[in-house]
Structure 1
């Protein structure tokens, strides 16, 4: 439940102070709720798994290095994060079509079904949270949040962080 301090935007000398405060409040709320969705699916897929499955769905089968590069994280991190997805049958390791020695990661049918279920749950959460917003307000918020995430990614990529988001991770997934 938001406190009056959480909702305050007049925090100091300017708009940037209010912005940084609201970003901090958002980060806390997102972590508390994990923005996992609603119903049975709520909080049932962690952020790393969701982002990996989403990337494989959007871009198709790829190797660990390509997946890591596109997400702006280290290959060892991707390997560690993918292992439980392979173990649970959400991701398959297959031979590269052009080079049978290379391995690519691919969303399995089970992974696709699970991702679709989680997306639907999260979509419903976003509908509920933005209930009362106009379509234009939702579009503006999504556009600005995407722009904010892209700017953060570019800043982190420029600083050479291995664990920070980069690439298109911050971009909004295609409308479904």
Structure 2
């Protein structure tokens, strides 16, 4: 689905957009947008996203978790191991099928997640302190749309057998 550049917008504007997205990606990686205070940078992005997903969607198996996050099972298995080791995630048997393993947020994992969420919420408040509520809402809406489009594009461009090379 190729688009004529003129239908998308002015080349200068698109150049600015791609540059600002690149700068944002670099800064986000450097600061890891980890939050403020003691909790700052205390949890990597992969761990945060996994814990967040388990909190929002409840206990699930590795395959379901991988599918819902748009990454492959081996990546989830690798990322979840340290979370199990540190007691943030519990491995339990599936209630119907005892052989299947279900991953679940532990009480410790939930309190850790709440700490990190609160710290990151504080960082967002600081970064946008002089924005109006409408500006915050608009930025959130547009960034969500941008991420959704990016995610859809990634999903449609995965060549079978190359999933493992997708960045996590």
TM-score clears 0.5: yes
Q: Which residue of 2 aligns with 1:137?
A: 135
For the residues of structure 1 that align with 2:98 and 2:31, how far apart are their CA atoms?
A: 43
Q: C-alpha displacement at 1:63, in angstroms?
A: 0.3
| d(CA) in 2 for partners of 1:38, 1:13 | 37
| Alignment partner, residue 148 of structure 1 | 146
Partner of 1:119: 117
Alignment correspondent of 2:65: 67
- What residue is the counterpart of 1:25 in the other structure? 23
Report the TM-score when normalising by structure 1.
0.85
Q: CA deviation at 1:160?
A: 1.3
Q: Which residue of 95, 105, 108 corresponds with 2:106?
A: 108
Q: For the residues of structure 2 that align with 1:13 and 1:132, how far apart are their CA atoms?
A: 30
C-alpha distance in 2, partners of 1:136/1:57? 28
Shift of 1:90: 0.1
Q: 1:13 to 1:153 in 2, by over 3 A?
A: closer
The structure with more helix, counted as a fraction of residues: 2
Q: Unpaired runs of 5+ in structure 1?
A: 1-11, 166-176
The answer on whether the counterparts of 1:93 and 1:104 sit within 8 Å (CA) in structure 2 is yes
The 5 A counterparts of 1:47-62 are 47-62=45-60
1:7 paired residue number:
none
- 15, 38, 43: which is aligned to 1:40? 38
